[in-house]
Amino acid sequence: MTNKKRRIGAICILIFTFLLIFFILYQKEMKSRNPITATAFKLNTVVTVTIYDSQDTSLLDEALALCDYYEEIFSRTKETSELYRLNHGTLPKGSDGFLISSELEELIRSGLSYGELSKGAFDIAIEPVSSLWDFTSGEKIVPQETAIQTALPLVNDQDVLLNNHQLSFQKEGMGLDLGAIAKGFISDRIKDFLVSKGVKSATINLGGNVLCIGNRPGNTPFRIGIQKPFADRNETAAVIEITDKSVISSGIYERYFEKDGTLYHHILNPKTGYPCDTSLVSVTIITEHGVDGDGLSTTCFALGLEKGMELINSLPDVQAVFITDDYQLHYSDNFEEEIHILS
């Protein structure tokens, strides 16, 4: 009887041990299937990085650190940044102008290319005008007309000369504002970093602009919502399925104020110095690179529905959704053939 009890006890211990091991392995497997994510306030917006195929949280820390690194280069307002020092003439000089980093030169060249593509509707030399406007403090101050008219002659990217990591302005008082393309560029660099570390499934969200790496686990596309203008962040105008592309929007609802019955938004017309006046409230671009989505969304908003859509339809591997002030959605050619719309 004693031996029988011992055998039963041994069997119970074995069963318990087996169940315990199974439970531990199951928990480990379930944990490995859960995505890791980190959120922080960076670049004057909320940044969230989510990785679906790795449990290495150091990758999240390094991804967010890249935001700080590039802010020290591209920020227009941070006094220690390279761009701020360029605009204020305190960078070291070479024989052909101010000495700039390769990262700053790359982003400036991208901005100049969109200036050329848009025939001046997009202009990174808008800083003398954009610095007059404040869409974040809540003070609701419209710049003096005389100040805008004084600044406008300085807004022309044709007067920006780049040569061998050196930059010069043709007119005193000029400056650059890279805010319309910097976040897209940074999201591309974060993607490059994560991919170099073996990540194949992730999302990079910079203030609602999303860049996807690959697919979700199970090889299913990511579902990305297009923000409904002036609505709650969770309310969407459409939901689309995306694989390995960026979804970037520009709209009047992002930063604006109202004064005396007029809405003033942050997308400025480089010809007038005032907010762009088109029938559009939002433009969303779907493309491979975030910097292109950033540049094209602002460019198309400035061009308006007809010219903006004409531009998009002339470009390869780019799709767009324009939302007009009657809240109608306008899709680029072949949009529904290339991108699945869920709602």
Over residues 76-103, the pLDDT tens digits come to: 999 999 999 999 999 999 999 999 999 9
The answer, yes or no, to whether residue 24 has pLDDT greater than 50, is no
31 or 320, which is more confident = 320
User: What are the boundaries of each domain within the chain?
Assistant: 77-169, 221-338
In contact, 123 and 181? CB cutoff 8 Å? no
pLDDT of residue 25 exceeding 50, the answer is no
Task: Give 230's pLDDT tier (boundaries 50, 70, 90).
Answer: confident
CATH of domain 221-338: 3.10.520.10
| 130-157 pLDDT per residue, tens | 999 999 888 999 999 999 999 999 999 9
**Residue 8 CB-density burial (10 A; 0-12 exposed, 13-18 middle, 19+ buried):** exposed
CA dihedral 19, 24, 27, 29 (to 10 degrees): -100
Q: What is the distance between the alpha carbons of residues 217 and 205, in angstroms, rounded to a whole number? A: 18
Q: What is the residue-averaged pLDDT of the chain?
A: 92
**pLDDT score of 16 more than 80:** no
Q: What is the pTM of this model?
A: 0.88
Q: Give the right CATH number for 77-169 from 3.40.1190.20, 3.90.79.10, 1.10.3980.10, 3.30.70.1560.
A: 1.10.3980.10
Q: Residue 18's pLDDT is what?
A: 58
Torsion, Cα 143 159 115 63, to 10 degrees, reads: -80
- pLDDT tens for 184-227 read 999 999 999 999 999 999 999 999 899 999 999 999 999 999 98
Least confident of 21-35, 65-79, 138-152, 172-186: 21-35
Q: Whats the size of the chain, residue-wise?
A: 343
Q: What is the pLDDT of residue 40?
A: 97
Please compute the mean of the pLDDT values over residues 324-338 and round it to a whole number.
94
